[in-house]
Structure 1
Amino acid sequence: MPYGIVGQRLEQVTRRVPVDEPPPLPENAKLKSIGKPVSRLDGIEKVTGRARYTFDVQLPGMLWGQRVLAPLPHARIKSIDTSAAERYPGVRAVHVMERLLSTAKLRDPKAEQGNRYPTVRYAGQPIAGVAADSPRAAEAAARLIKVEYEPLPHVTDLEEAMKENAPRVFPGPTEQPSTAGGGGAPPGLPQKGNVRGPDSKPLGMGPRGDVQRGFAESDVVIDVEYRTQVQTHVPMEPHGLVADWRDEGLTLYASTQYMGSVRDEAAEYFDLPKSKVRVICDYTGGGFGAKYGIGNFGLLAIHLSRKARAPVRMVLDRREEHVSGGNRPNSIQRLKLGAKKDGSLVAIQLKAWGSGGVAGGAGVGFCHSTLYECPNVQMEQYDVFTNAGPCAAFRAPGQVQGIFGLEQSIDELAERIGMDPLALRNKIDVSRTDDAVARAHERRVGAEKFGWSKRRPAGSDKGPIKRGVGFAQSQWLYLVHRNTGCEVRVLGDGSVEAFSGTQDIGTGTRTILAQVVAEELGLRPEDIGAHVGDSRYPPGPASGGSRVTSSLTPAARNAAYRCARDLASRLAPVFQASADDIVFADGKVMVKGKASSAMPFRDAVKKAGFNEIAHRAERRDDYEGYMAVTPEMGISRHGIGGVQFAEVAVDTETGIVKVERVLAVHDCGRPINPKLTESQIYGGVIQGVSYALYEERHLDAGSGHQLNANVDQYKIVGSRETPSIEVILLEQLGAQSSTDARGVAEPANVATAAAVANAFYNATGKRIRTLPMTPANVLAALRA
């Protein structure tokens, strides 16, 4: 199989490949469909409004759901009276929650005073729900539900929660298993008060060496603190679910990143066979890690639908989306690096604290032990519980926060030893993994394209507007969703369809599915009916962790290959040739080497005289296996990465930072569709700029309420703040699967804030160690 970076060096390597898989693909330039910038096949549906999102679902007899939310950040519920709501005109069902999802759970439930109702631990926690004939009736009835609370002491600030005498969010040690969207926290860690940990083995990477000896042997030591903020998800389409409970089963219309977790949670919580739960997700209007499972709102909708015997629509409003829809945890990171004068890293020590509110999983990633060569590494990462809404996976969970600190410290080390930041990384980023090899090439390509050699000393501009450039690296996991399948059908009239029970959250999954199938059958992508969004199709991957393309495309190609071989055997008598000599290309079927035998694909299929050919294939493990496996996922010993260069302008009088230009150079294995891949990277850069400069959740310490739970005061980058973005893609063949495709969503986001921060230093000569880069934080950094 071909291995290496196309355009640089390709070699041939040997892999053990199952005999029924297709032969290796050549580089993209030699292909017809794969690797081409095909426009989204569903683009017209989206821009004309024909695409049906969960928000748009309207079913006959559908009821409107409304939630009752806790107004206090911490309280016991003494009583709930729903009688007035039940009598309100138009009300069909009322339900009071007796269990909660998305929060940490007490290791010993007896540690808390017994109560039939869950303890309130954050303002905005759902308490009950109402289903009525109209939204107005549901809202009016919800206001009639009387809840008597016993207020308890609360704490919303990370550092306050760490104190010995801080109010306890949980009265005892907790656990939080991971979900389909990742997150969670390692089991069995010690907990003292609100502080749980340390986790010293993120991603299973334990400590190594002796950091104290390493620092003693170091010529240079960098010892600094970084702080990052809470960022909420704010997808275009809020969380939503329509539940339709009928005698024949439960149908759920969900805005989700994984239909499998929605089905599985519903089946588990309601004691239903999975065969009785169907999930439909035609389109999802954005999801960055929080849209997994049914959620508390979905739990309510299903209960209400079962009671009312009618469909119930439950969609979060903007305030609830901010408060309970998930967030990226904040962090305090104390990072210490030791190095020799030549730049060789000797020791890395990290202590980090983060709060995911009432949920665990507030770590800062795994980059400190995996990105750079270093013999002595020690990490301690702690969860700190606060009375705030639960965190959720968010586009490279933890890694964005960790890279923000690590990449600034590497730059600071480079300055201390008088070495160019890129040259230092050339020395220490030297592992043999695919992502490290790719980053070395990306640094060279990016530096030349960006004009890195023209970089000036820090703080060179004399006026109040100071410009500078910066650089940072991305690192993420190459993940494979192992339980992934695809079915391809060729019908008797020559039409072709592909089916997978995955979902398209806006990344173009339908289009890449069609491209891969089209390549095997010699057709155009628009000739393929690509079907996703229904749990009755073969199981598809979750849209998270940059794993859809790496998981789905090999299964799709393998299924299409089997269809092609089956079809060739049926066409052999028609063409009076061997099945091995039947070729599919350019929308035609022909005998190899006989152009005169070419026949349009549809005409040839009709002559074969069959009704349907259908073949299904599963995603097999990578040819070289994995570094680690779970029942659902394979984690490669290789990774995906990228580098980003940023140019900023800093107004030192007002504290306003403007990102003017970003160059992103990324690898994702074989780009199946460069146009869609670039779109993913644009989105990652924009989201990263928004995180670096603007986004921050503000909680009122007294009431526990979020003060900016809207899309007005919660500032997100807009068109005026979006920089000029240029993307360069590597085509890197890793000889791991039948398509060699990997994802790109996470690394596109990871390095942005760090690159902007390093550019800030080059502009001003001052380090900014606190995010976001608001005028207040900028002016404080300039005064430091």
Structure 2
Amino acid sequence: MQDVKDTTGTQSSHKPASGQQEQTPGPQKPPAPNPGPARQQAVPYGIVGQGLKEVTRRVPLDEPPPLPENAKLKSIGKPVTRLDAVEKVTGKARYTFDVQLPGMLWAKWVASPLPHARIKSVDTSAAERAPGVRAVHVLERLLSTAKLRDPKAEQSQRYPTIRYAGQPIAAVAADTPRAAEAAAKLIRVEYEPLPHVTEIEAAMKENAPRVFPGPTEQPATAGGGGAPPGLPQKGNVRGPDTKPRGMGPRGDVEQGFRESDVIIEAEFRTQVQTHVPMEPHGLVADWRDEGLTLYASTQYVGSVRDEAAENFDLPKNKVRVICDFTGGGFGAKYGIGNYGLLAIHLSRKARLPVRMMLDRREEHVSGGNRPNSIQRLKLGAKRDGSLTALQLQAHGSGGVAGGAGVGFAHSTLYACPNVRVEQYDVFTNAGPCAAFRAPGQVQGIFSLEQAIDELAERIGMDPLALRSKIDVSGTDDSLARAQERRIGAERFGWNKRRPAGSDKGPIKRGIGFAQSQWLYLVHLNTACEVRVSGDGSVEAFSSTQDIGTGTRTVLAQVVAEEFGLRPEDIGARVGDSRYPMGPASGGSRVTSSLTPAARNAAYRCARELANRLARVLEANAEDIAFADGKVVVKGQASKTLPFREAVKKAGFEEISQRAERRDDYEGFAASMRDMGISKHGIGGVQFAEVAVDTETGIVKVERVVAVHDCGRPINPKLTESQIYGGVIQGVSYALYEERHLDSASGLQLNANVDQYKIVGSREVPQIEVHLLEQLGGQSSTDARGVAEPANVATAAAVANAFYNATGKRIRTLPMTPANVLAALRA
């Protein structure tokens, strides 16, 4: 292999998506590399099967040697079945919904039926006297919404202003669910109704009712969230943000359009999508003299602990958070939420555990949502496909929360010298938005990838060939997409693509394509502890939660590789804030953050174990290795012992090593708070085949081929599962999901699981997944995430397939019969 010099600082950087949650200040100067002794190490780099080379990285001395490709490993890279599979399918797995504690009370909250009002009074006396009631609490502060920049802009009052129908006001805790529900109905709230607005375009008008009486801010919390600080606000419109994620305008857009031969200009609209996890948001609070214990359905144990400590003025060591299993989370399950705030208050008052789980209506209204968008996109290009200018103006509403951007793809996915992006928040009297699996990027890719396809049509170029010309950043994610386009086209049969609208009958079929782009994120405050007990048992500890992605299994595989054991031999302990702090399950960052720390800790522990065994085996520690469940001495087969037997002979009680996630070997493009943004990225491509009934307007996605990269796949089976889920969720977003609010009352009309349509088993297409194993020489595992890009391109690919089938562009989501028939008539 050729030895290539370290390329630190030479790669193009990728910036995070503008959009709800994950909002951060612009890029800061990357920190200096981790201090401490290091060596120049040759590591494998490139796409496995496409010709690996070696690059030189600065690797800390106490880290293990680089891993070869997965085919040469025993545990990592193998399709290991989930270690908790039996617990889940037999019902033994304990979710927060299942937690039952001695003396536990049941809580029910009272929510506003009005979309905008001042609370004049709250009378809880009847509820307090109701049978079985142990505690009542009225909220005096509200989480998850934007706040006035100047609180004096609003009339002083005791209780938070009501800004959306369904906003929680108070809650009761009682001995039974029925008693709690009955008592909640006895709470009397006197309102002063205020004018309201629920639709984005109505809210943008100068004379629209004001959701907030002045400019707002929404700083990030322990669970993420927020919007860029200091932006101007006029009425309900806040912005523009012209530097989404620090990517400011470049070049001269007007000159770029003057130089163009072709201009594509269109308006795209996407809808509000609400979170519908199998397990709704919820928390069980147990306030005792010795501290507060919280059982939470969460995506980040750390943010639950931190927000509870902050809001109740407790030291962090007095708050314990337990999350054995989480029944789904797509970005909204951070922090304690208003439901948790109420549960903790009630538990403190009653001195008993209190369970607060949202019902389905509450989940839809208050559990978070993906904002809608109105995107006006203008694209200029030469006849050869070279982009000359791109201009985007996007408005989105996250209800009473900020952060409704449409991602960063317009600024970063394709080479274009002149770019101007303006993104605006529009406040409405509706429930707050939250992160939702690639926040902003799904909406943005829907518009961008359709515009690129339309450009290809106008200049007579194949859509894949056009992307090969303009997707040329030179980073490893753009190189991966080039291979993915080739592989996907072969697997899908792209060469059989026909001109748009070729079918003559009412059922028209077509195929389409779109690209995904996301960030390789690292949660910096990540640690893992590995222990070997005297009986030969091995355990790994991290507070990170497993939200269904298989984190336990991945953790066990990485540790097992270092000890030559099977993953099922490793005790993978997660979901407890008393363990070393692990990463948040958001932004596709768990695997990239946790696995290097786990491998480094396991390596150190294994080397310490080798030192202990050297005396027993009368060998040098450097010659002791672990393989196939045995301890072996290189070149001395007679000294081989089973792992457990060898450990017992060493005669110790326990050895333990802890390691933290360090910076990438090349450093980061930017670091902010507890997150590092790699100079590299992740992505993929998706091909879709659809059938459109032009008489009824029904669209059926029949087949999807998804080709994705995620660095080194630690467990291909689980990686493929993530991509299946992303495709299915993307189809659901493209065709079905949409929140409907009654503009007169502000109430959601489909806050349930029968009228809020999501994809069902009969509507799931045939899905074919292919993975690229790509080594980037960034950490001791080279692993990255895949959850976001698996979802990003689906709706755009379906929309491009719709055009190929019908010859008509559909620029409004979801693709309901009404929207489809309107597009066909256009």
CA distance in 2, matches of 1:396, 1:180: 19
SS at match of 2:703: strand
Match of 1:12 in 2: 54
Map 1:345-364 → 2, pairs under 5 A: 345-364=387-406
CA distance in 2, matches of 1:178, 1:594: 58
Q: 2:144 aligns with which of 97, 102, 106?
A: 102
* Correspondence 1:770 to 2:812: yes
Amino acid at match of 1:35: G
Match of 2:295 in 1: 253
Match of 1:149 in 2: 191
Amino acid at match of 2:536: G
CA 1:181–1:345: 2 relative to 1, 3 Å = farther
Match of 1:319 in 2: 361
SS at match of 2:107: strand
SS at match of 1:29: helix
SS at match of 2:58: coil
CA 1:416–1:182: 2 relative to 1, 3 Å = farther
Q: 2:375 aligns with which of 333, 345, 355?
A: 333
Q: 1:515 aligns with which of 557, 566, 576?
A: 557
Give unpaired runs (5+ residues) of structure 2.
1-42
Match of 2:713 in 1: 671
1:433 CA drift (Å): 1.4
CA distance in 2, matches of 1:277, 1:188: 34
Match of 2:546 in 1: 504
Checking the alignment, whether the CA contact within 8 Å between 1:251 and 1:277 is kept in structure 2 is yes
Map 1:634-713 → 2, pairs under 5 A: 634-713=676-755
Map 1:155-194 → 2, pairs under 5 A: 155-194=197-236
Checking the alignment, whether the CA contact within 8 Å between 1:472 and 1:755 is kept in structure 2 is yes
Match of 2:13 in 1: none
1:596 CA drift (Å): 3.0
1:573 CA drift (Å): 1.4
CA distance in 2, matches of 1:642, 1:129: 46
1:203 CA drift (Å): 1.2
Amino acid at match of 1:706: Q
CA distance in 1, matches of 2:200, 2:695: 31
CA distance in 1, matches of 2:754, 2:388: 47
SS at match of 1:16: strand
Checking the alignment, whether the CA contact within 8 Å between 1:181 and 1:544 is kept in structure 2 is no
CA distance in 2, matches of 1:656, 1:625: 49
1:179 CA drift (Å): 3.5
CA distance in 1, matches of 2:546, 2:153: 43
Checking the alignment, whether the CA contact within 8 Å between 1:489 and 1:614 is kept in structure 2 is yes
Checking the alignment, whether the CA contact within 8 Å between 1:69 and 1:123 is kept in structure 2 is yes
Amino acid at match of 2:443: Q
**Structure 1 vs Structure 2 CA RMSD:** 0.6
Checking the alignment, whether the CA contact within 8 Å between 2:507 and 2:693 is kept in structure 1 is yes
1:597 CA drift (Å): 2.3
CA distance in 1, matches of 2:794, 2:468: 20
Q: 1:59 aligns with which of 89, 93, 101?
A: 101
Map 1:521-600 → 2, pairs under 5 A: 521-600=563-642
Map 1:24-423 → 2, pairs under 5 A: 24-423=66-465
CA distance in 2, matches of 1:181, 1:674: 29
Checking the alignment, whether the CA contact within 8 Å between 1:329 and 1:354 is kept in structure 2 is yes
CA distance in 2, matches of 1:216, 1:182: 41
CA distance in 2, matches of 1:384, 1:631: 27
Amino acid at match of 2:464: L
CA distance in 1, matches of 2:299, 2:219: 19
1:175-223 C-alpha deviation (Å, 9 max, x unpaired) = 0112355432100000000000000111111100010000000000001
Deviates more, 1:751-760 or 1:629-638: 629-638
SS at match of 2:788: helix
CA distance in 2, matches of 1:304, 1:322: 24
1:595 CA drift (Å): 2.8
Checking the alignment, whether the CA contact within 8 Å between 1:63 and 1:134 is kept in structure 2 is yes
Q: Which 4+ runs in 1 deviate beyond 4 A? A: none
CA distance in 2, matches of 1:9, 1:348: 35
CA distance in 2, matches of 1:108, 1:762: 52
Map 1:719-734 → 2, pairs under 5 A: 719-734=761-776
1:432 CA drift (Å): 1.6
Match of 2:657 in 1: 615
1:136-190 C-alpha deviation (Å, 9 max, x unpaired) = 1111111001000000000000000000000000000000112355432100000
1:578-634 C-alpha deviation (Å, 9 max, x unpaired) = 100001000000111333322100000011111101000000000001111012000
CA distance in 1, matches of 2:679, 2:269: 30
Match of 1:737 in 2: 779
Checking the alignment, whether the CA contact within 8 Å between 2:224 and 2:334 is kept in structure 1 is no
Amino acid at match of 1:403: I
Amino acid at match of 2:787: A
CA distance in 1, matches of 2:470, 2:639: 58
Deviates more, 1:211-220 or 1:594-603: 594-603
Amino acid at match of 1:606: K
SS at match of 1:643: strand
CA distance in 1, matches of 2:148, 2:341: 20
CA distance in 2, matches of 1:626, 1:204: 15
Checking the alignment, whether the CA contact within 8 Å between 2:222 and 2:306 is kept in structure 1 is no
CA distance in 1, matches of 2:255, 2:236: 32
Checking the alignment, whether the CA contact within 8 Å between 2:199 and 2:428 is kept in structure 1 is yes
Checking the alignment, whether the CA contact within 8 Å between 2:110 and 2:171 is kept in structure 1 is yes
CA distance in 2, matches of 1:368, 1:124: 35
SS at match of 1:13: strand
Q: 1:459 aligns with which of 497, 501, 507?
A: 501
1:456-476 C-alpha deviation (Å, 9 max, x unpaired) = 000000000000000000000
CA distance in 1, matches of 2:389, 2:812: 24
CA distance in 2, matches of 1:182, 1:269: 16
Count of aligned positions:
784
Checking the alignment, whether the CA contact within 8 Å between 1:183 and 1:397 is kept in structure 2 is no
Percent identity for Structure 1 against Structure 2:
87
SS at match of 2:468: helix
Deviates more, 1:691-700 or 1:172-181: 172-181
1:656-703 C-alpha deviation (Å, 9 max, x unpaired) = 000000000000000000000000000000000000000000000000
Checking the alignment, whether the CA contact within 8 Å between 1:181 and 1:289 is kept in structure 2 is no
Match of 2:37 in 1: none
Give unpaired runs (5+ residues) of structure 1.
none
1:497 CA drift (Å): 0.4
